[in-house]
Amino acid sequence: MAAPFTLRWGIVATGGIAECFVRDLVTDPSLRGVTDVAHQVVAVASRSVDKAQTFIDETIPADMRAHVTPYSSYADLYKDPAVDCVYIATPASGHYACALEALRAGNNVLCEKPFTVNAQQARHLAQVAKEKNVFLMEAVWTRFFPLVKTFQRMLHEEKMIGRVHRVFVDFSVYIDPEKNKRLYQASTAGGALLDLGVYMNLWTLLTCYHHPENKRSPPDVIKAAMLRSPLTTDLVDESTSVITVWQKPNIMCIGTTSMMTDTPKECLIRVQGSKGEMIIPIHASRPEKIIVNLEGNGMNTRTYNYDIPGQGLFWEADAVARDIRDGKKEDDLYPLEECIFAMELMDEIRLQTGLKFPDDVEKVQS
């Protein structure tokens, strides 16, 4: 058997998700049945070199740690020739500037969600990636779950529940303001919409935007409402609701997101069709189960379970490794056009609800 293609990662920022991502990168790919690609962490950058070194010591097994360089600035990591792909895991407010600098230095980039703060920034990154002829993708990891592929096949190809009429999506997680300051500050582009709403919009796109009769068109109606958090003078949103109407496939979609309350365990995504319904219990970001209720002589329920041998971030990493191995500059499953469309949807929701971040967070560099 041929040796796997190994992608060498540079990690930018050492917070919660960077730790989860690296723990997944260092797991043996064969445990998830993958033999064609593998991963190696070769550099970690933090605003403090001690923090970078501690991160390396705590997340990377001793036998894989010898050739990992700690950096005291993100910019230094972008210049490291040993890095094949930079993973950006700063708060949302930092994504655009970090990704831009990394791309301009000639790096392939996987950038955490939300990709940027607005669509103009997203379009700019896509343009720079094209000019530099490098790979770029937003790290919406859930898109790469085997369960999601099956869900889309059952819904759109097999039409298991017949014609889709309505979709309900909720992604809500209580976020403690004391423990998660970044989400209660406008300076770090906080609030439920940009952080959790990415998953609300993800399932809206998977069910409606991807519907074969919709042909990747925008919705005909978008109506948004927002509740601002009284816990901060920054007035970030604690809850946001969005109704979209997709005329071509004739679907009404109701999406909700909140950082003040949790999604009920039993139902997070409910797609109602002419022959039954499909339900995904929590979590929208890390789904493990599809429940299909088919109407007939009594309700016929089938449950499809999916094991996740880790956190599940490795599936997006595997996709990036294959793309870079094959010389692709964007991913077929999640192309930049769709990522920009998702940011345009965010912009429209923010326009209707008046949610603005400080000028230095929203700005686009020349």
Ligand X SMILES: NC(=O)C1=CN([C@@H]2O[C@H](COP(=O)(O)OP(=O)(O)OC[C@H]3O[C@@H](n4cnc5c(N)ncnc54)[C@H](OP(=O)(O)O)[C@@H]3O)[C@@H](O)[C@H]2O)C=CC1
Ligand Y SMILES: O=C1OC[C@@H](O)[C@H](O)[C@H]1O
Please, which residue, 91 or 249, has the CB nearer to ligand Y?
Answer: 91
Interface contacts to ligand X, rule CB under 6 A:
13-18, 46-47, 51, 89-92, 94, 112-113, 139, 141, 182, 188, 195, 285
Please, which residue, 126 or 139, has the CB nearer to ligand Y?
Answer: 139
Q: Is residue 201 close enough to count as binding ligand Y by CB under 6 A?
A: no
Judge if the upstream peptide bond of residue 81 is cis by omega within 30 degrees of 0.
Answer: no
Tell me the C-alpha to C-alpha distance, in Å, between residue 135 and each of 110, 112, 118, 228, 333: 8, 14, 20, 36, 14
363 binds, among ligand Y, ligand X, none (CB under 5 to 8 A by kind): none
Residue 361 in tokens: 């967070």
Please, which residue, 14 or 118, has the CB nearer to ligand X?
Answer: 14
Please, which residue, 92 or 292, has the CB nearer to ligand Y?
Answer: 92
Rounded to an integer, what distance in angstroms lies between the CA atom of residue 272 and that of residue 270? 6
What is the footprint of ligand Y within residues 176-195 (CB under 6 A)? 195
Please, which residue, 59 or 272, has the CB nearer to ligand Y?
Answer: 59
Torsions phi, psi for 354 (to 5 deg): 75, 25
Q: How far is the CB of 343 from ligand X (least distance, A)?
A: 13
Please, which residue, 55 or 209, has the CB nearer to ligand X?
Answer: 55
322 binds, among ligand Y, ligand X, none (CB under 5 to 8 A by kind): none
DSSP state of 206: I
Pairing of β 289-294 and β 276-280: antiparallel
Q: How far is the CB of 82 from ligand X (least distance, A)?
A: 19
For the chain, helix, strand, coil in percent to 5 are 35, 25, 40
Are the beta carbons of 278 and 302 closer than 8 angstroms?
Answer: no
What is the footprint of ligand Y within residues 308-327 (CB under 6 A)? none
Q: Identify which of 356, 357, 351 has the alpha carbon closest to the alpha carbon of residue 222.
A: 351
Rounded to an integer, what distance in angstroms lies between the CA atom of residue 44 and that of residue 52? 6
For residue 233, count other CB atoms closer than 10 A to its CB: 8
Q: How far is the CB of 163 from ligand X (least distance, A)?
A: 33
Q: Is residue 285 close enough to count as binding ligand Y by CB under 6 A?
A: yes
Please, which residue, 84 or 195, has the CB nearer to ligand Y?
Answer: 195
Rounded to an integer, what distance in angstroms lies between the CA atom of residue 245 and that of residue 293? 24
DSSP state of 263: P
Q: How far is the CB of 194 from ligand Y (least distance, A)?
A: 10
Q: How far is the CB of 353 from ligand Y (least distance, A)?
A: 20
173 binds, among ligand X, ligand Y, none (CB under 5 to 8 A by kind): ligand Y
Rounded to an integer, what distance in angstroms lies between the CA atom of residue 143 and that of residue 154? 15
Instruction: Tell me the site size for ligand Y, rule CB under 6 A.
Output: 5
Please, which residue, 46 or 258, has the CB nearer to ligand Y?
Answer: 258
Rounded to an integer, what distance in angstroms lies between the CA atom of residue 92 and that of residue 112? 8
Rounded to an integer, what distance in angstroms lies between the CA atom of residue 226 and that of residue 239? 6
Among residues 60, 100, 173, 340, which is the contact residue for ligand Y, using CB under 6 A?
Answer: 173
Q: How far is the CB of 175 from ligand Y (least distance, A)?
A: 8
Q: Is residue 93 close enough to count as binding ligand Y by CB under 6 A?
A: no
- Residues within the interface to ligand Y (CB under 6 A): 173, 195-196, 283, 285
